[in-house]
Amino acid sequence: MSAKVNDDLLTERRKCEFNVEELTNYLDGGAQATQNRRKLEDKVLSTKGLFDEVPEEYLSHKEKYENAVRKAVVYYKAMKEAEDPNQTEQERANATYRSLLHAAVFKDNSPFSLHLAMFIPAILGQADEEQKKYWMKRASKMEIIGTYAQTELGHGTFIRGLETTATYDPKTEEFVLHSPTLTAYKWWPGSLAHTANYCVVMAHLYINGKSCGIQPFIVQFRDEETHQPLPGIKLGEIGAKLGFNTVNNGFLGFDQHRIPRNRMLMKNAQVLKDGTFKRSPNSKLTYGTMVYVRVVIVNGMANQLARAVTIAVRYSAVRRQSELKPDAGEPQILDYVTQQHKLFIGIASSHAFTLTAKWLTRMYQKVTADLEKGNLDELPELHAIACCLKAVTTTDTSVLVERSRTSCGGHGYMLSSNLPQIYGLVTAACTYEGENTVLMLQTARSLVKALEQAQSGKRLSPTMSYLSEKVSSRLKWDNSIDGIVKGFRRVAYGKVESAMRSMRKYVRSGLGPEDAWNMSSVQLVAASEYTSISEADIRQLQDTYEDLLGKIRPNAVGLVDAFDFRDQILNSTLGAYDGRVYERLMEEALKSPLNAEPVNQSFHKYLKPFMQGKL
């Protein structure tokens, strides 16, 4: 018999003014997609051995990793078996697109995540047809496990500064991979330490002493039978982190490690047997895997933020605290407008990121199809937009997940709430796949170029066209959606124009362009993510905003129920559908190994002698 649902949650669900299932269907892309997703979740989550006997927060660093590998093999086998052969690739992608199935199994991400998130996309995007056929067969059947090894101890952002070398030897038709310094060691790649046995390595190619830029190489670094590191390979784990502690991030050093010529992924650039180098049509095509993952991250943020606000909103409907009016009893904390302010932006942002992710994915698919036909025209715009949206959505999600955590008081600080772990996952995304400041400056670089083009009368791409609209200096402000968008366009235009004016001022003062850029870079970052609107408008917007909070209040629980996350996927004592938060907090607390005995051995070993002055 299922446990009794909390009365307050029941009331909230009765008050909801819209059809929750309809919103769930919309988010999934239709009722059939909802059905597919639920069927997939039913199948996979009913698999034995997927969940932790002991909560992983009570395991050692080593036990956590070993337990995660145990679960990963069960999970990925179950996912493979659950795949519906009658579904199209697109239907399958949709079913997993919104599903956070892996989050039900891995609170801190999976030791296989890089295989799926980057190793396979790197092969798909960087290998020629023959290489793709061979490596995709092995990688998709999990005969090999891979990762993406680009970042080094000494370089993450500046790819052109990577020190790992790949020197072509025409006599043996091999590349010699080498880490000339400690800072050249690959450092950070997920799964690299003990899980994967192959990786795509980004290394500086040299032929006859001449630099041929950064190129991708597929490299085996562990024996497929014994899993021992191959000769000339130094491997290890980089240590405990804020999060991602079951992703097995590692380091890898090469000592004159030889690989055959056909291990350079040669879709974009090629090296012939005699060492002739055939340049890529655009050297930045080598960065393509990162562009792809930045696009994926936007959707990932939408899902993770939805998970956090679901936990916090349901908890806020159950938690009663303080007095709003004398003798009126303790209200639900969700009735405090400050609590609504903290949480409802998170609900709205998750939906906004979901729609943005769909739009960006369509743009990515179009540009990628154009690239296949040799048309690179829209690649710069895709790069600029992907940089901006990855940076903005990860920054906002980190802020909003942390706000969800702090809105739950002390219980939000419990690992059993799962909010700290979700924060650890999302805040990492502000750094990986391009540190956010650096990516915003990439977008700023495109904005400055676009404004210069607009000022010389050239047509701009659709996403930059707001820079060429002659926005009247006194825009008639109204708080319609169109009015608000116009207001933002005017602010955005002003930010770019001000940054550019600042750079020109520094150049006139005698600074070189690079120093002028650096001096204006705070403004440039702001131009990529604009901030406030003028004073007078704020009051009007504020009234509208507070009115909106009141309209959302009766539907808040319905809005998060519509994300349709199972309790296993929320993995939270505070966010379960039945709202039995106190019973769950106690159930989880009793699982602490410290509660196995009333008196811990440290009393007799240390405390008692200390308190009796004998230590």
Map residue 166 onto helix, strand or coil: strand
Chosen from ligand LOKYT7XV, ligand FAD, none, partner binding at 65 (C-beta under 5 to 8 Å by type)? none
Map residue 177 onto helix, strand or coil: strand
- Give the pairing type, strands 250-254 and 233-237: antiparallel
- List strands edge to edge, sheet with 233-237: 186-187, 250-254, 233-237
Closest separation between CB of residue 293 and ligand FAD, Å? Answer: 9
Give alpha helix (H) positions in 247-336: 288-318
Q: How many other C-beta atoms lie within 10 A of the C-beta of residue 609?
A: 12
From residue 280 to residue 309, what is the string marking binding to ligand LOKYT7XV with x (rule CB under 6 A)? ----x--x--xx-x--xx--x---x-----
Chosen from ligand FAD, ligand LOKYT7XV, none, partner binding at 392 (C-beta under 5 to 8 Å by type)? none
Closest separation between CB of residue 189 and ligand FAD, Å? Answer: 4
Q: How many other C-beta atoms lie within 10 A of the C-beta of residue 203?
A: 27
Spell out the SS3 assignment of 424-458: HHHHHCCCCCCCHHHHHHHHHHHHHHHHHHHHCCC
Sign of torsion over alpha carbons 106, 109, 110, 116: positive
Judged by CB under 6 A, the residue of 65, 76, 148, 423 near ligand LOKYT7XV is 148
Judged by CB under 6 A, the residue of 348, 352, 438, 475 near ligand FAD is 438
Chosen from ligand FAD, ligand LOKYT7XV, none, partner binding at 106 (C-beta under 5 to 8 Å by type)? none
From residue 247 to residue 286, what is the string marking binding to ligand FAD with x (rule CB under 6 A)? --x-------------------------------------
Q: Which two tokens stand for residue 123?
A: 């092969």
Contact status: 199 vs ligand LOKYT7XV (CB under 6 A) = no
Per the annotation, does 151 bind a ligand?
yes
Please report, as residue ranges, which positions from 106 to 165 form the binding site for ligand FAD (by CB under 6 A).
114, 147-151, 155-157
Closest separation between CB of residue 490 and ligand LOKYT7XV, Å? Answer: 25
Contact status: 109 vs ligand LOKYT7XV (CB under 6 A) = yes
Q: How many CA atoms lie within 13 A of 584 on its CB side?
A: 23
Question: CA 28, CA 25: separation in Å to the nearest integer?
Answer: 5
Per the annotation, does 190 bind a ligand?
yes
Closest separation between CB of residue 477 and ligand FAD, Å? Answer: 35
Q: How many other C-beta atoms lie within 10 A of the C-beta of residue 243?
A: 18
Selected range binding ligand LOKYT7XV among 335-343, 365-373, 375-383, 529-537, rule: CB under 6 A: 375-383
Closest separation between CB of residue 211 and ligand FAD, Å? Answer: 21
Chosen from ligand FAD, ligand LOKYT7XV, none, partner binding at 409 (C-beta under 5 to 8 Å by type)? none
Question: CA 596, CA 592: separation in Å to the nearest integer?
Answer: 7
Q: Determine contact, residues 333/404, Cβ cutoff 8 Å.
A: no
Question: CA 198, CA 127: separation in Å to the nearest integer?
Answer: 15
Please report, as residue ranges, which positions from 443 to 472 form the binding site for ligand LOKYT7XV (by CB under 6 A).
445
* Known active-site residue 433: yes
Chosen from ligand LOKYT7XV, ligand FAD, none, partner binding at 450 (C-beta under 5 to 8 Å by type)? none
Selected range binding ligand LOKYT7XV among 430-438, 512-520, 539-547, 600-608, rule: CB under 6 A: 430-438
- Of 433, 497, 546, 588, which one is the catalytic site residue? 433
Burial of 325 (0-12, 13-18, 19+ CB in 10 A): exposed
- Describe the chain by its helix, strand, coil percentages, rounded to 5: 55, 10, 35
Question: CA 488, CA 498: separation in Å to the nearest integer?
Answer: 15
Sign of torsion over alpha carbons 460, 462, 467, 468: positive
Type of residue found at 263: R
Judged by CB under 6 A, the residue of 35, 157, 228, 406 near ligand LOKYT7XV is 157
Contact status: 243 vs ligand LOKYT7XV (CB under 6 A) = no
Spell out the SS3 assignment of 501-519: HHHHHHHHCCCCHHHHHHH
Map residue 144 onto helix, strand or coil: coil
Closest separation between CB of residue 495 and ligand LOKYT7XV, Å? Answer: 19
Selected range binding ligand LOKYT7XV among 112-120, 330-338, 344-352, 464-472, rule: CB under 6 A: 112-120
Closest separation between CB of residue 403 and ligand LOKYT7XV, Å? Answer: 18
**b/e burial code for range 146-155 (CB count within 10 A of at least 16 → b):** bbbbbbbbeb
Judged by CB under 6 A, the residue of 434, 558, 575, 579 near ligand LOKYT7XV is 434
Contact status: 183 vs ligand FAD (CB under 6 A) = no
**Length in residues, the chain:** 615
Q: Determine contact, residues 64/245, Cβ cutoff 8 Å.
A: yes
Residue tagged 């018999």 (tokens): 1
**DSSP element (H, E) containing 20:** helix 20-28
The residue whose Cβ lies closest to ligand FAD is 156
Contact status: 76 vs ligand FAD (CB under 6 A) = no
CB-wise, 246 or 332, nearer to ligand LOKYT7XV? 246
Based on its alpha-carbon atoms, the radius of gyration of the chain, rounded to whole angstroms, reads 27
Question: CA 260, CA 167: separation in Å to the nearest integer?
Answer: 12
Map residue 146 onto helix, strand or coil: strand
Closest separation between CB of residue 45 and ligand LOKYT7XV, Å? Answer: 18
Chosen from ligand FAD, ligand LOKYT7XV, none, partner binding at 291 (C-beta under 5 to 8 Å by type)? ligand LOKYT7XV
Q: How many residues bind ligand FAD (CB under 6 A)?
A: 22
CB-wise, 257 or 390, nearer to ligand FAD? 390
CB-wise, 185 or 493, nearer to ligand FAD? 185
Site residues (vs ligand FAD, CB under 6 A): 114, 147-151, 155-157, 188-190, 244, 249, 428, 431-432, 434-435, 437-438, 441
Site residues (vs ligand LOKYT7XV, CB under 6 A): 109, 113-114, 117-118, 148, 150-151, 156-160, 190, 284, 287, 290-291, 293, 296-297, 300, 304, 379-380, 383, 425-426, 429, 432-434, 438, 442, 445
Active-site positions read 433
| Feature table: binding site for FAD | 151, 190
